[in-house]
Amino acid sequence: MTAPSIAAGLKVLAGGSLTGPLNALAPLFERASGHKLTIHFDSTPNLIKQAMSEPFDVAVVPVDVFKNADARAAFAAGPTVDIARVGYSIAVKSGAPKPDIGTQGAFKEALLKAPSIAFLPESAVGAYILKVFERLGIAEAMKAKTKVAATPSAIAPMVAKGEAELGIFLTNVLTAPGVDIAGPFPGELQQDLVFAAGIARSSAIAAAAKALIDYLRSPEARAVFAAKGMTAG
């Protein structure tokens, strides 16, 4: 990638669970392209509101944002671009015994036995976790155990400090110092959350926005996503 003759300042909306990989990739893209990034990380409900009400150039967000008709109208026509995907896991404090979560029954029992769990309910990830609780018939029981994290990146530290026995979220978010991955959600409960990119309909620097999207699909970016526990594309 060669630097453009005129650098652009790109305003980027991004899912909070992409904080690690995008913070790693931002300086690489800036160095290669000459464009500067201002990235706002947030939860899906807030990203939907921001897409509808605040100026931005490009978004790399959970596909749930694009499923909202009002938010989708803020983006240029045409298909979005899948950037990365990741599944769900449970984490424990480093060195702590790992519960058996290999089957749906064992997974349910582990959740019921845990005195506390940390996750972020007000997010696309949290919404799916709540659906899993409902599917298992433990939604009410889990309410009293839930320790609400302020951001995705706060979940692992809560577990590491002993504020919650289990952390439940995306695998890449839980791959962090002070915690160990106990395992992924069992097959019948597992699914990938897909993060997709789109260019704002009102962006005056759409070419620079496209350059960022293209970069996020490059071999260099794919390697960073993989190192952060995600699957590119």
Q: How far apart are CA 9 and CA 151, in angstroms?
A: 26
Domains of the chain, by residue range, sit at 9-85+193-232, 88-189
Confidence at residue 6, expressed as pLDDT on a 0 to 100 scale: 63
CATH of domain 88-189: 3.40.190.10
Q: How many CA atoms lie within 13 A of 51 on its CB side?
A: 34
Q: Please count the residues of the chain.
A: 233
Query: Whole-model pTM?
Result: 0.88
Tell me what the mean pLDDT of segment 168-183 comes to. Answer: 96
Q: Tell whether the model's pLDDT for residue 116 goes beyond 80.
A: yes
| Interacting residues of 81 by C-beta distance below 8 A, sequence separation 6+ | 196, 197, 198, 213, 217
Confidence at residue 1, expressed as pLDDT on a 0 to 100 scale: 54
What's the pLDDT band for 3 if we cut at 50, 70, 90?
A: very low
Considering only CA atoms, give the Rg of the chain: 18
Tell me what the mean pLDDT of segment 180-206 comes to. Answer: 96
What is the tens place of the pLDDT at every residue in 22-48? 999 999 999 999 999 999 999 999 999
Per the CB < 8 A criterion, the answer to whether 42 and 153 are in contact is no
Confidence at residue 200, expressed as pLDDT on a 0 to 100 scale: 98
CATH of domain 9-85+193-232: 3.40.190.10
What is the tens place of the pLDDT at every residue in 55-111? 999 999 999 999 999 999 999 999 999 999 999 999 999 999 999 999 999 999 999
Are 9-85+193-232 and 88-189 in the same CATH fold?
yes
CA angle 80, 85, 91 (to 5 degrees): 150
Q: Tell whether the model's pLDDT for residue 4 goes beyond 80.
A: no
